[in-house]
Structure formats: structure tokens, C-alpha cells
Structure 1
């Protein structure tokens, strides 16, 4: 039982850190600033739902999917790093704040951003996907597998609650406060991007040199 409690704490803390709802919140607030509350809530709900099912899918079938398509976690980190860097650059210049959407395009825009970049890679990034695969491999018993699924569900619910009520914080911060927070998160996002890029590229470069030297 103690092992199960320890595993549950590991699952919850690792997924909460990797999904990082508080870090996603300012990006979500900015990208949905021109939306009606109902559409904003639908966007949050879809983004979290996509994140949940993506994590569960990779947890159970991640290794098979990677082997079938010849994908490596390192490649996934590099792609996620590039996307993070480009988005962080826009955020650092507060470009997303100025985004205006035509009324007839709002639903399509909401549908687009709910999957990418909100669900993937912001909420459910390479780190979270890798974490799901690794923890599922360690969860040998049915109890631990159930704990893993419940931990992912709980973190996703917390993320949805944070995003759903983000507009209240948006009003408290105001445009100036949001711009400051946006630039700060943009800087953090670009640092995360470099970490992903370096973490993904380092093993690949090592393999290349080992092959060339052989």
C-alpha cells in the first residue's frame, strides 16, 4: 500500500509539473481574449480533453506508436522545442495580445487552437508524453495502472478549472499586467524550448558521432 501511495504521489506531482496549468493560463487568456465566455470554456474543455486522451493513448500504446512510425522521444523534444521557441518569441513581443479574429472565424479559430498549440504541445508536451510512457512501464500492477490514469484525470481537471476561470484573473490584471505576464511567460517558454532542443539533440548528435567514428 505504501508503494502505491508513493507511486500516486509521483504520478500526480510529475504530471502537475509537466502540464503546468498556471504556466498555460496566461497563454490561454491571451489567445482567447476576443472570444465569448461560452466559446472560451468550450476551447478549454476541448484542449484538456485532447490532452487527457493523448496522454492515455501514449501511456498504453506509446512504445508501439513510436516503433511503428520510427519516431523517437528525442525527435519529439526537438519539434516541441521549435514550436515553444516560436511561440515564446511572439509572446515576448506581446504579439498575441494584438490578435483580432473575425466573428465568423472565431469557432474555427477556437477549434484550431484547442488542439494545437493549447493541447499539444503546451498542455500535453513531449515531457508529459514521455512521462506517461515511462510511468506506465513502471506500473506493473492493475492498481498502479489505475492510479496513473486517475492522476492524469485529476491534473487535467485542475487544468480545466484554472483555464475556465482564467478570465477573472485576466480582468484583475488588466492589459498592462497581462502584457507583463505574457512577456515573462514568453521568456520562460523560450528557455523551456532551449532545454527541449538541447535535450533532444544531444543524444542524436552523440549517435551521429559514434556512427561516423565507427
Structure 2
């Protein structure tokens, strides 16, 4: 009975942590602005690819993240700094409404390339699978005391990303209702918010690095 209780407690902890960190509802407006010019099919394709890539990336880091970080001599703080720079560049493009340029072309290859590009970076990494999710996966995998808890952790990650996928798919209907003008307004607004998030990301990673250098 204690083992089952511990499993439920661990699974609930993992679900709460991942859902809060990944924050599908917070990702939705950014996804909407980045895919506003795409068809419903391409938006669905983008959401699917982004969540699948995020899932396998989180799982990969959960099992080997600490080893990789130690091998390459990098830290989560460095990941935050790079994530902040990527976010800032993305936010700047959104503020200039540059992400909607794809709608001016009928070239299917260019649309597919755009979907491929944004679904991996920045949607999958670092938006869905960011430093927080990676760190959380590494810590919880180390805390999992047996194979049952490890399997439960993988299932929890899959469930959270399935919810994320469903939320992003639901964003398509909102995007269609907003129309062209509404999407441009939201794009600029979210661009500003993304740039603020980027600054927070950047300095939350840079501060420990600078402190480490000064103390060293």
C-alpha cells in the first residue's frame, strides 16, 4: 500500500511540476501568432511535430542530461542564457510582425520549411522543452527510486505534452476568429511579452555564472 501511495505521490508531483513549467496555456498565444498565416492542417502539423520533438528531448535529457552536461562542461545556466537570446530574437521578429511573411507565398516547399523551422526551434526548444523542463526531468529521474516510478515519470511527461498538443490545436479556432488584424495586434503584444521573458531567462542564467566567476 505504501509503495502504491508513494507512486501516486511521485506521479502527482511530476505532473504538477511539468504542467506548471511547460505551461501549455502560456505557450498557446505565442503559437497562435507564429502560425497565424498557416492553414489549419499546417498548424496541426506544427503542433504535432513540436510536441513530439519536445517529448523525446525531455526523455533524452532525463536519462542522460547530467552526463551530457558534465561531458561538455556546460550548465543549465548556460542553457538559460542561450534560450534567452533565442527568445529575444523571436520576440523582436514578432514585434515587427515579420513572422507573418509566409502567407504571401503559395510555395508549398517554403511553407513546409517554415513549419519544420519553427516546430523545432523555438516551439519545441526552448519554448516547450526549456531549461526548467530539462532540469526538472533530470532531477525527477534521479529521484525515481525504482523502474515503476521511472515509467510513471515517462507517462506523466507524455500526458502533459498530449495536453499541450490539444491546447495548441484548440488555438487554431481562436486564430481563425481573430482574423488578420487581430492576429497582427496579438503578434506585436506577444512579441513584447516574449522579449520580457527573454530578458528574465538571460539574466537568471547569467547571474549565477558571473557570481561563480567572481567567487572563483
> Do both share a fold (TM > 0.5)?
yes
2-structure distance, mates of 1:110, 1:101: 15
Deviation digits for residues 111-134 of structure 1, max 9, x if unmatched? 111111111111111111111111
Structure 2 equivalent of residue 74 of structure 1: 77
2-structure distance, mates of 1:123, 1:177: 24
CA contact (8 A) 2:58 2:134 kept: yes
Structure 2 equivalent of residue 107 of structure 1: 112
Structure 2 equivalent of residue 58 of structure 1: 61
Provide closer, same or farther for how the CA distance between residues 34 and 48 of structure 1 changes in structure 2, counting only shifts above 3 A: same
2-structure distance, mates of 1:101, 1:152: 37
CA contact (8 A) 2:87 2:195 kept: yes
Say which of 22, 25, 28 aligns to 1:19.
Answer: 22
Provide closer, same or farther for how the CA distance between residues 25 and 157 of structure 1 changes in structure 2, counting only shifts above 3 A: same
Q: How does 1:53-202 map to 2 (within 5 A)?
A: 53-100=56-103, 102=105, 103=107, 104-202=109-207
Q: Secondary structure at the match of 1:34?
A: coil
Higher mean displacement: 48-57 or 132-141: 132-141
Q: Secondary structure at the match of 2:103?
A: coil
1-structure distance, mates of 2:126, 2:177: 27
Higher mean displacement: 167-176 or 56-65: 167-176
Q: CA RMSD in A?
A: 1.9
CA contact (8 A) 1:26 1:185 kept: yes
Deviation digits for residues 21-60 of structure 1, max 9, x if unmatched? 2222222222222323222222211111000000000000
CA contact (8 A) 1:23 1:185 kept: no
Q: How does 1:29-68 map to 2 (within 5 A)?
A: 29-68=32-71
TM-score by length of 1: 0.89
TM-score by length of 2: 0.88
Higher mean displacement: 185-194 or 64-73: 185-194
Q: Secondary structure at the match of 1:35?
A: coil
Q: Which ranges of structure 1 fall in alignment gaps of 5 or more residues? A: none
Question: Aligned pair count?
Answer: 211
1-structure distance, mates of 2:168, 2:17: 20
